[in-house]
Amino acid sequence: MIKLGRTLFDYRIKLWSKICTAYLVYSEKEAREFLHKMQYDKMPALEKQRIDLLSNDFDPKNNWWGSMETKD
């Protein structure tokens, strides 16, 4: 069992996955500010973008997903 655990641990390190550790620098104030920013800044902007994308008259103007325009 110990050998299997060590093998899995080594494999995980080999794949560059992060080892779970405690988040020691947690700040409740910063967490509240982040959630406030998400709720009042980011989410309304994403909702507006979603409404624009789903509108009947939406035109990506040959720049869909930021793709480069090519000449064939």
CA distance 11 to 33: 38
pLDDT, tens digit (0-9, with 9 covering 90-100), for 8-57: 777 777 766 556 666 677 789 999 999 999 999 999 999 998 998 888 88
Q: Is residue 61 part of a domain?
A: no
Please give the structure tokens belonging to residue 39: 């709720």
Q: What is the pTM of this model?
A: 0.46
Q: Which domain holds residue 47?
A: 26-56
pLDDT at 67 over 70: no
Burial letters for 8-35: b for 16+ Cβ neighbours within 10 Å, e otherwise? Answer: eeeeeeeeeeeeeeeeeeeeeeeeeeee
* pLDDT (average), residues 54-69: 72
Q: Is residue 2 part of a domain?
A: no
Torsional sign, CA 27, 32, 33, 39: positive
What is the reported pLDDT for 17? Answer: 56
Q: Is residue 40 part of a domain?
A: yes
What is the reported pLDDT for 39? Answer: 93
Q: Is residue 63 part of a domain?
A: no
Number of domains comprising the chain: 1
Q: Is residue 37 part of a domain?
A: yes
Q: Is residue 8 part of a domain?
A: no
Q: Is residue 4 part of a domain?
A: no
What is the reported pLDDT for 20? Answer: 62
